[in-house]
Amino acid sequence: MTSRLFTNIGSLVTNDPTLDRGPLGVLENAAFVVEQGRIIWVGAASQAPASDRCIDVGGRAVLPGFVESHSHLVFAGDRSHEFAARMEGKPYEAGGIRTTIEATRAASAAELELNTRSLMQEYTRAGATTIEVKTGYGQSAESELKSVQVAAACTDEVTLLAAHVAPPEYRDKHDEYVQMVVDTMIPECAPYASWIDVFCERGAFSEDESRAVLQAGTAAGLKARVHGNQLTYGAGVQLAVELGAASVDHVVYLTDADVDALANSSTVATVLPGADFSTRGTYPDARRLLDAGATVALGADCNPGTSFTTSIPFCIALAVRDLHMSPDEAVWAATAGGAAALGRTDIGAITVGARADVLALEAPNHLHLAYRPGVPLVAGVWKDGQTVVPLNEEDN
């Protein structure tokens, strides 16, 4: 058993509310000790216990690793031309997804896994230590099963999103597609997943269809999460709260009743400003959610159609500039908020007992994440105490 002391830290973000230093629990002149993948001590560097090894982080800020609670990484194909066309003034239409469905169906599991792992590496280099991965580009029984197996090979946080949009061959028979999701895809895919998700939106799935999918998923032992209220007002938020979903994601178009429902429930409101940025869409009003008392998470939503970024730091910068979150709120949302959106209590904080999933920034404090947009500040990453992105001077 080897213990390691992380020391010479700039600001340390703990997310420990009991420290009475705001929600981020920021400590100066602090250190912490990791053993067997867990944090076993946090406190003043001057009082650090003896440890087997020392990691001098060179005055850099240290934060919990980012928790990405929303990504769509199991896909093949390229949609850069669609993006360019959209930037030239053509509005986003859900039809673009069909390109990805065709390429994903044609790809082998090995190809899909290679692409998924490559994108997860990008996420990790940008500081993410937990990454939820959704299916949703297979959209046939065979291809969703292939996708969910690929996701399960890559992460522990797997979400079945068979009900993403109805594929082209079911465009005029939604009810048959929903029936296939409920009768075939959920039973076959549930052993590989933890979560059931649905895109509850005009043009995707109605409230009743969404409820049927979510209830079938929960009956199969999956926990619910929802894509809702992204493009229009709708039933997504209320349905998520009604069914006790862990999170409802996008939350751009909200009524006062939707905000109240989120503020008075355990369902997390997850904002995904990378999607609004990349589609020139409307940003969610995170300020309104926070002021009402809702729990807000922040993710990058990496997907080939509407948000092809794996950079949580970029999304923190967007959240601060365009969603009017404070830098502290945005960092909390990308760490502890993401953990809450995944129902996890073992990640998203640097506290005794938590997994040693941490990152070091090439900066003295976490404010630089929003202050220095687009700069790759993540200098070191550890997951379960193991180095995944080494600091230059780390003694391995």
38 known ligand binder: no
306 known ligand binder: yes
C-beta separation of 374 from 314 below 8 A: yes
Q: What secondary structure letter does DSSP report for 336? A: I
C-beta separation of 21 from 31 below 8 A: no
Q: What secondary structure letter does DSSP report for 2? A: -
C-beta separation of 353 from 39 below 8 A: yes
58 known ligand binder: no
301 known ligand binder: yes
The widest CA-to-CA distance across the chain, in whole angstroms, is 68
Q: How far apart are CA 333 and CA 182, in angstroms?
A: 33
Q: Which ranges constitute the DSSP H helices of 109-206?
A: 109-125, 141-154, 174-180, 186-189
C-beta separation of 109 from 146 below 8 A: yes
In sequence order, the 6+-apart residues with CB closer than 8 A to the CB of 312 are: 66, 68, 123, 126, 127, 128, 298, 299, 300, 334
Q: What is the pairing mode between strands 12-13 and 26-27?
A: antiparallel
C-beta separation of 103 from 138 below 8 A: no
371 known ligand binder: no
260 known ligand binder: no
In angstroms, the Cα distances linking 116 to 152, 302, 351, 380 are 11, 11, 30, 22
324 known ligand binder: no
230 known ligand binder: yes
In angstroms, the Cα distances linking 17 to 29, 42, 49, 246 are 18, 14, 23, 21
20 known ligand binder: no
Q: Which two tokens stand for residue 232?
A: 């229009």
Q: Which residues are annotated as a binding site for 4-imidazolone-5-propanoate?
A: 79, 137, 164, 230, 306
Q: Which residues are annotated as a binding site for Fe(3+)?
A: 70, 72, 227, 301
Q: Which residues are annotated as a binding site for N-formimidoyl-L-glutamate?
A: 137, 303, 305
Q: Which residues are annotated as a binding site?
A: 70, 72, 79, 137, 164, 227, 230, 301, 303, 305-306
Q: Which residues are annotated as a binding site for Zn(2+)?
A: 70, 72, 227, 301
